[in-house]
Amino acid sequence: MKDILIVLLVIALLLLIVGAANNGQRVDLDYVFGTWHHVSLFTLIAIAVAALVAIGLTVAAVAGIRAAGQRRKLERELEQTYVRLREAEAYGAQMAEDAAKATTTARSQEELPAEALAAGPDEGSAAGPDDASAAGPGDASAAGPDEGSAAGPDDRTIALHDQPGRDDA
């Protein structure tokens, strides 16, 4: 706004200087509604300068109001963006924590069976259904398919000689 005022005042001053230099000249103005006789150029330029300054100040004020409105709009949009950014950061941090917990849980679950296998069965623990060494001689689940079991041998274990690409000669 300050720059606009300076430019307007400089232009107005230059126009007034031109009008003052031609103060002695008189003109007749013919316009639609009448005629204005013996008008000084200085008077005409002073009227033009006043109109120029009024229009310039009006335009500057309107531009300032629009700029302030745009600034408020951008600040509001920026505030909404910051809120969404903080939510996204919180969500990302929560996902990272969940991933870290899942990784820790997976690692502890991987270590647990290895420790359980190394320790062996406890003396007071009952044998599981897949534990053939703890099964009795009349247990149908430990017996093979010959002894009345409808299920075949345990499909989860593969003998070394059954693996493809393995030579046991």
Residue ranges covered by each domain of the chain: 1-29+36-100
Bridge partners for 36 per DSSP: 29
Q: 3-state DSSP call for residue 141? A: coil
User: Nearest CA to 41 among 60, 22, 68?
Assistant: 22
pLDDT higher than threshold 70 for residue 142: no
Q: 3-state DSSP call for residue 39? A: strand
The top-scoring range by mean pLDDT among 19-28, 37-46, 117-126 is 37-46
Amino acid at 58: T
Lowest mean pLDDT among 19-23, 29-33, 123-127: 123-127
Name residue, tokens 């059954």: 162
Q: What is the pLDDT of residue 143?
A: 47
Q: Are 121 and 131 in contact (CB under 8 A)?
A: yes
